[in-house]
Chains A and B, each alone.
Chain A
Amino acid sequence: MDYTVLLLAIPFLMFLLLGLVGQKLGPKMAGILGTAGLSVVTVLAYYVAYSYFLNKGLTLNGVLESAVNGDGSWKALTSFNFTWLDLSNANRPDLRIEIGMLFDPISVMMLVVITTVSLMVHIYSIGYMHGEEGFERYYSILSLFSFAMLGLVVATNIFQMYIFWELVGVSSFLLIGFYYKKPSAVKAAKKAFIVTRFADMFFLVGILILSYYTKTFSFEQINGDHAALVHTTMGGLTFMGCSVTAIALTLIFLGGAGKSAMFPFQIWLPDAMEGPTPSSALIHAATMVVAGVYLVARLFPVYFFEATSVLTFIAYVGAFTSLFAALIACTQTDIKRVLAFSTISQIAYMMVALGVSGYASAHEAGLGFTASMWHLFTHAMFKALLFMCAGAIIHAVHSNEMDDMGNMRKYLPITHWTFLIACFAIAGIPPFSGFFSKDEILTAAFESNMIIYVCQAFVAGLTAFYMFRLYFRIFWYNEPTFHHTPHEAPKSMTIPLIVLAAFTCVGGFIPFSEFITAESIGYEIEMNTTIATISVVVALIGIAIATFMYKKQNEWPDKVTAIFKNFYVWAYHRFYIDEVYLFITNKIIFGIICTFIAWFDRHIIDGFMNLLAWTTNLVSDETKEVQSGSVQQYAWVFIMGVVTIVALALYL
């Protein structure tokens, strides 16, 4: 245990402190305390990242440990790892849940992402949430979230990950339901929790299967040596014709898919926008939703060496989801929903990248992995930025609907420029960060699977289109009648915007492939100019169409809508997936199964017990004539009793 534990301890203590005595501290104190706490954590995280990546050594427990192995690959370091719960038994003597901190390239990278975005959100929220009821509660939950998310990424074993996985789930639930008086928020929170919980169940079963055979939870042992442990313990095992490893890993992926809102679990994320916008930025855009990607990345060696088919499956799921979400994003009018679908689409990109990735660093085989993580990083920055901008806009007009906005560039200049930067980044226009990461993804896809490449390239165009649709609708277009003149957000809100915009601008120039690779060995990326050109062109086409349609109010949007009428309606209604879910849960599970079971319980099971009692009473009542009061009848019964018994005794 050393200073690294503070990374987890500070947010946790902050959560307890603000949660228990936040009311007494008052909102101002709570905001400052929360932000200060997180600043410390951020500094620590940067220090760790700095020592790990640049100094190639991390001082843990007073000893300077090298972050590089002899062969030049990155080394995973553990600062502490204690037994939290012993689950051993005769069969699996070493099975235990440990809590520890693991530092390797992806976890350190995630530390940076999380703390950065979280700090920005903390600062931003001081302005955004100003005067809100439950301000202290908000900060306390933010701290809880930061704690959980940091715990998740530094997890040394899959069960620790699951523990924090659940914790981020609950903090997400609490934040979505922050405006608990609003029925829609409560509903959205419930939906988010239950859908992810449903996926978590698969995750859990996956863990159980995996750990049953490997007899351990530890990532180091599971992943180590090209997942040799999985190979020796599970290789060749089949269940109903499928490889057990594949089943386990598919289940684990489904868990990740739930958190990362992959199809068909995507339904919760758009609704999750009911939460305060900064928390959406943090949780539902930048960090928590990428946990699924992180999970797959964490177990990447297992996926790659033991279940390639699952990886392909992931790629297809990702590709489909990205296309699907992008299509929907084109039709939405609630700006946060557009961003939400965009998030789904972008995360799906990362999934695709993992799915098409190879392993070795040589010949850029593991490019997809690097690209995925890179996109994770850049996406976190620009998506958080987008959300915060959206927050600033909502803050200004008190509405989420595009129709209430327009021509806002003159009222909100900072927001406007930062938003534009983010739009360029997500659209993949150089030199903004999104260009680089997305380009690598497309390259990886191109080299592995043509169908997926085409699909992703098309999605890239769509992305550019809907983002600029959003941009023009908000900042250009016709000016609606505002209730009051919109004004720029306070400093506490604009500074984070600027910081993130800066990250977005420079993020593409980080030599990511030196640090983060599937094999942990750094390499140089050479840009594939053909693909880069194609993607830029596609993006520009998208932007052009958007400019044409939405810069000024004109009849083209309606015309286009009319052409794709049915399709538009379907997309607008998110392809009715929510309705299908609602039908299954409300009508079938609640309406039929639960009601039936409850009825069955009351009327059959309990009814049977009551019937017993009722019968007893009935028999009692019916037999009262036996006791007729007539002494002669008594004698009759007496003598008949004797006769019967004699008969029984003699003949039986």
Chain B
Amino acid sequence: MIETLKDYYSGFAIMNQELTLVLVLIFVLLADLFLGEKGKKNLQFAAIGSFALATISGFTVSFGGSQEAFAGMYVTSDMHVLVKNILNIGTLLVFFFAHYWNKNENRNQSGEFYFLTLSTLLGMYLMVSSGNFILFYIGLETASIPMAALVAFNKKNRDSAEAAAKYILTAAFSSGVMLFGISLIYGSCGSLYFDEVANAFQGLPVQILAMVFFMAGMGFKISLVPFHLWTADTYQGAPTSVTAYLSVMSKGAAAFTFLCILFKAFHNYPEIWQNILWWIIVVTITVGNLFAIRQKNLKRFLAFSSISQAGYIMLGVISGSPLGMTSTVYYIFIYLFTNLAAFGIISNIENQTGKVGMDDYNGLYGTNPKSAFIMTLAMFSLGGIPPFAGFFSKFFIFAAAAEQGQYLLVFIALLNTIISLYYYLLVVKAMFINKSENPIPTIKSDNMSIIGLGICTIGILILGFISPIYEYMTSISFGM
């Protein structure tokens, strides 16, 4: 236990990434305060630049094994570092795409945008690295409260307001439910440390009840059915950059945290939560797909698509094995590039023309071939079509589930990929095949989003072929 104050503070030594992020946060806050009206342009560069530096610095962190700080309240390992790095990359990409928006429509509040986004990122860091339900809760709320503000960013837009209201209310409700569950866990297990919970967990009814309450709260964050209903409304109403952030980072971080907690705190009775998760996955994938089919608004469409993707991510979680963890993280990693590419295109077009309907995309290939091409790549990758990265991530995640003998589940998920392919192809069809009398005019993207899209495209195209990434994840992953 804690020997001295010095020992205590040495805990900060392993929080490199969090500390760096806090530095960036403060830097952005100060910059926003002092740069004034004229410096807005520089502010963006300052924010993006400093965060890019932080991202790069994140890759230098390495532990070799699992580390603890603050008496196990905070844990980290190479895998945690990697997940945070992945989150960094995603956030950076979102910044690239948001650049144009921040430069024009949102110019007055761009500093706040960066600050709030980075705050949620900090929350995610804490959530990911938590070893105790307290830190987990703090991280979770740090991640979600600023997010509500971000969703409401378009103050003049009623959709944005509605989306934010729905988000904050549901989030509060779900965290209430989850907290109730945690309180019961505490009551029945006597501790809030994950590993101590694991030891005290005996599968009592009250514990199962508590676990389900807890899972419901996580299900809200990852938007698993039936806790998903807020997703589409919020995604649709929120500014596109925020939606992108929400759909990838928030979901990814929550999924990884969920995985860690299930592995650490409930690993003695896996069949209980595996059975629950089994049904949740089936329902999630199916409902996500069924609802996505009829969507006409692309953001809403991607919301449902992301719900079904969340179901696929859970396939890795249900396996409970190192392979499961690897494939989950890998899936999130690939999903990040893929989904952000899609959102990049959508936000580009929305920013410049205000169109987000699927019908508006008719004939896009004729006017904006590159955008259409990238969108197609993204759609194919989301649908799991080789040789794009999405195929690999899907294959691995199925492999992880199949390893545990979940063949029926894999089969159901695969059948669902048919439906998902159908609606992904609808987008492709709109862009390539459908004719439009009033196509989206040729748009000129700004440099930042071009860089972002370029990175995404490269990611989609070649990540699957670069096996060292996956191998590295394998080497640092752990199971129950």
Chain A residues packing against B (C-beta within 8 Å): 613, 616-617, 619-621, 623-624, 626-627, 629, 631, 633-635, 637-642, 645-646, 648-650, 652
Contact = CB atoms under 8 A, between A and B. Distances in A.
Interface string B223-236: 00111011011000
B230 A634 contact: yes
A646 B177 CA distance: 13
Nearest to B294: A620
A616 B170 CA distance: 29
B291 A650 contact: no
Interface of B: 165-166, 169-170, 173-174, 177, 205, 208-209, 212-213, 215-216, 220, 225-227, 229-230, 232-233, 272, 275-276, 279-280, 287, 290-291, 293-294, 419, 422
B290 A620 contact: yes
Contacts of B272: 649
B172 to A, nearest CB: 10
A626 to B, nearest CB: 8
16 contacts: A617-B293, A620-B294, A621-B294, A627-B291, A631-B169, A635-B169, A638-B226, A641-B216, A641-B227, A642-B177, A645-B280, A646-B212, A648-B276, A648-B279, A649-B276, A650-B205
A638 B171 CA distance: 11
Nearest to A628: B229
Q: Which of A629, A633, A641 has the most CB of B within 10 A?
A: A641
B276 A639 contact: no
A153 to B, nearest CB: 58
A627 B276 contact: no
Contact of B276 (A617, A633, A640, A645): A645
A631 B230 contact: yes
Given A620-B291, A638-B227, A646-B209, A631 B165 contact: yes
Contacts of B290: 616, 619-620, 623
**Of A616, A620, A648, which is in contact with the most chain B CB atoms at under 10 Å from its CB?**
A620
Nearest to B225: A641
B226 A650 contact: no
B166 A638 contact: no
B291 A629 contact: no
B283 to A, nearest CB: 9
Contacts of A637: 226, 229
A641 B226 contact: yes
Given A623-B290, A623-B291, A648-B279, A640 B208 contact: no
A645 B209 CA distance: 9
A648 B226 CA distance: 14
A619 B170 CA distance: 26
A645 B282 CA distance: 13
B480 to A, nearest CB: 19
A648 B443 CA distance: 53
Contacts of A620: 290-291, 293-294
A307 to B, nearest CB: 55
Nearest to B280: A645
Given A641-B226, A649-B212, A650-B208, A631 B166 contact: yes
A635 B177 CA distance: 11
A638 B173 contact: yes
Which of A617, A638, A650, A652 has the most CB atoms of chain B within a 10 A radius of its CB?
A: A638
Nearest to B215: A645
B212 A635 contact: no
Contact of A624 (B166, B275, B294, B419): B294
Contacts of A621: 294
A642 to B, nearest CB: 5
Given A616-B293, A623-B291, A645-B276, A638 B208 contact: no
Given A617-B294, A645-B212, A634 B205 contact: no
B208 A631 contact: no
A619 B280 CA distance: 19
A621 B209 CA distance: 34
